[in-house]
Structure 1
Amino acid sequence: MTPLRLTVLVAVMIALVACRSGSVKPTIPPVANVDIPRFMGDWYVIAHIPSYPEREAYAAVESYALRPDGRIQTTFRYRKGALDGPLKAMHPIGTVREGSQGAVWDMQFVWPIQAEYVIVYLGDDYQQTIVGRSKRDYVWLMARTPRIPTADYEARIRQIAALGYDVSRIRKVPH
């Protein structure tokens, strides 16, 4: 193997290891406990700081289903560009981090890369949640219904700001 190929190989391996967040403790505070079976089901994305594919998402819904192996089958479906736009979907697999009481997941969209997913707010009735990341690059405000009361929305946005997010980047998702 040439020195150039070896250097490229080592650089790629370092990048892949750096992308894996499974062993890194989150720096954003997770909730104390999540009842995973109760958390399963549909969550409407009310607002978010979107990842690249979500920038033009309308009618976005994140659905979770517990698999027999304990991992979480996720389906993120949305309309692209408009409420009547083409239906798109992504299917990452979630793995609950050991010792996190269900509040920290690793989401795998493409092997071997896993993205940190931290439940930072969860209503006692499991009707609203905020999912964030230690990098404060993406955040999702979700609810069991496509709309929430204005007072709840404003309170959740204040919580997101208190977590260190730039709330001017938040996009409301049309439903």
Structure 2
Amino acid sequence: MTFKKLTSQFVLLSAVASLTGCSTAGFKTTQKVDLARFMGPWHVAAGRFTMFEKEVHNAVEAYSYDEKSKTIKIDFSYRKGSTQGPLKKIPQTGEVVEGTNNAHWLVSPLWPFKFDYLIVDLAEDYSWVAVGVPSQKYLWIMFRKNNPVPEDVAPVVSRLNKIGYDTSNLVYVPQDWSN
């Protein structure tokens, strides 16, 4: 698929998604997020992913806060097809929605589109996080450690179920950093 065609599909999908609104009404996020502690790399262990996250291995989202612009730089990288596959990167920017204790962001993979990014649940020690969207269509469960396995994900899924977040149809991301 050509870059132009992929970009066109992304723009169309983004436009449709943006028409669904950005309301988080009716769904709670975690109570408070310390942005300084949240920044850094997170290894994606499982979730329900967008159409751009197919065949991902060794997926990592790395966050850094730009104090001057008050934005969050998001670097999503992964290996396509296998842990030795070609390295792919999807840069994005985010901004915290005021009055949300840093738990609701607007993320932009491509200007001018912005999408809700809800920090649904977060470990007290910041060892794992669950991120979703108001519709619950997408979900990302991430860990600080670099080789999360399904057994690590199970307690997070249990917590999400207790707060009413849909955890059906999860896809697990192979992580192997031994090379």
SS in structure 1 at match of 2:109:
strand
Aligned-pair CA distance for 1:80 = 0.7
Matches within 5 A, 1:55-70: 55-67=54-66, 68-70=68-70
8 Å CA contact 2:121, 2:160 repeated in 1: no
Distance 1:151 1:58 in 2: 18
Residues 97-131 of structure 1: CA distance to partner in whole angstroms, max 9, x if unpaired? 00000000000011221111000111111111000
- Number of aligned positions between the proteins: 159
AA matched with 1:165:
D
Runs of 5+ consecutive residues of structure 1 not aligned to the other structure: 1-13
AA matched with 1:142:
M
TM-score, normalization by structure 2: 0.81
Structure with the greater alpha carbon radius of gyration: 1
TM-score, normalization by structure 1: 0.83
8 Å CA contact 1:16, 1:113 repeated in 2: no
Residues 112-161 of structure 1: CA distance to partner in whole angstroms, max 9, x if unpaired? 21111000111111111000111111100001012347654211122333
8 Å CA contact 2:42, 2:62 repeated in 1: yes
Aligned-pair CA distance for 1:164 = 3.5
SS in structure 1 at match of 2:19:
helix
User: Which residue is equivalent to 1:36?
Assistant: 35
SS in structure 2 at match of 1:54:
coil
Runs of 5+ consecutive residues of structure 2 not aligned to the other structure: 1-14
Cα distance, 1:81–1:158 mapped onto 2, change above 3 Å = same
Higher helix share: 1
User: Which residue is equivalent to 1:136?
Assistant: 136
User: Which residue is equivalent to 1:160?
Assistant: 160
AA matched with 1:80:
K
User: Which residue is equivalent to 1:3?
Assistant: none
User: Which residue is equivalent to 1:107?
Assistant: 107
AA matched with 1:158:
S
Indicate whether 1:75 and 2:87 are aligned: no
SS in structure 2 at match of 1:155:
helix
SS in structure 2 at match of 1:110:
coil
